[in-house]
Amino acid sequence: MSRRLLGVVLLVVAGVVAVVGTFQPLYLDGIGHGTPTPWAAVTSWEYVFFTMPEGMDFGPVQSPQYAVPIVVAAVLLAVAAALAFLPEAQRLAARYLAIAGTGLLAGAVWAAVTAVMAAVGNMAMQPEGGYTTTVGEGVVMLGASVVVAVVGVVLLHARRPPPRPDGPAVYRVDGVEDDDTDTPPFGIPVAEVEVARLPESSFDDRRADGA
């Protein structure tokens, strides 16, 4: 598998992992006491509540929608992967799209991770027996997708090896009589050319005689 093809595969994998990660919990927030323990899972799309006491219903609560730029970045990575198999002009566009998609993905994931770290830090300052917050699988998947996308972009931009000739390159054939002049790799030898001399002028002879 060539480096370019491996880079394309990694871009697709990064996009798929990122989209799946948006549906996984970024962090889990719950109360450390009570039976059953009520808790909520915060994804890149919404808050999902579990084992809430009877009569308590928060209704649909949306998260800051980190998933929107992540999905857009995944689409850009998929388009870049598709353009990489087209002619050279489209392949150049694929490189730029891969960079843009990876940058957007990294920025969106960074925003989501900083929000998770802030939530975990705030809950850690609460008294014991209060709320507890733990990091979910979504953070791991989103972080992994950024790493895979960066590696894919690097491989996609890797310099291709120079083309090699199908057969041996022959610069000179033995057994052919010549003037022992080696043929250049990209050209033909230039034979020595005798330049004709112009006849001397009688005007110069009169000046030499003092005329």
Q: What is the CATH number of domain 3-156?
A: 1.20.140.150
Rounded-to-integer distance, Cα 52 and Cα 202, Å:
121
Phi, psi dihedrals of residue 53, rounded to the nearest 5°: -60, 155
Region of poorest pLDDT, from 60-69, 75-84, 117-126, 171-180: 171-180
Rounded-to-integer distance, Cα 55 and Cα 110, Å:
37
Say what the pLDDT of residue 15 is: 95
pLDDT tens readout for residues 123-149: 665 555 566 778 889 999 999 999 999
Whether the pLDDT of residue 150 is over 60: the answer is yes
Rounded-to-integer distance, Cα 127 and Cα 131, Å:
8
Look at the pTM and tell me if it is higher than 0.75.
no
Of the pLDDT bands very low, low, confident and very high (cuts 50, 70, 90), residue 76 is very high
Mean pLDDT of 22-36: 74
Share of the chain above pLDDT 90, in %: 33
In the sheet where 39-42 sits, what is the strand order?
61-62, 46-50, 39-42, 27-31, 131-135
Rounded-to-integer distance, Cα 196 and Cα 211, Å:
29
**Closest C-alpha to 77, from 1, 151, 159, 164:** 151
Rounded-to-integer distance, Cα 197 and Cα 121, Å:
95
Say what the pLDDT of residue 31 is: 65
The single residue listed with the structure tokens 């969106």 is 108
Is the separation of the CB atoms in 10 and 152 below 8 Å? yes
The number of angstroms, rounded, from the C-alpha of 139 to the middle of its chain's C-alpha atoms is 20
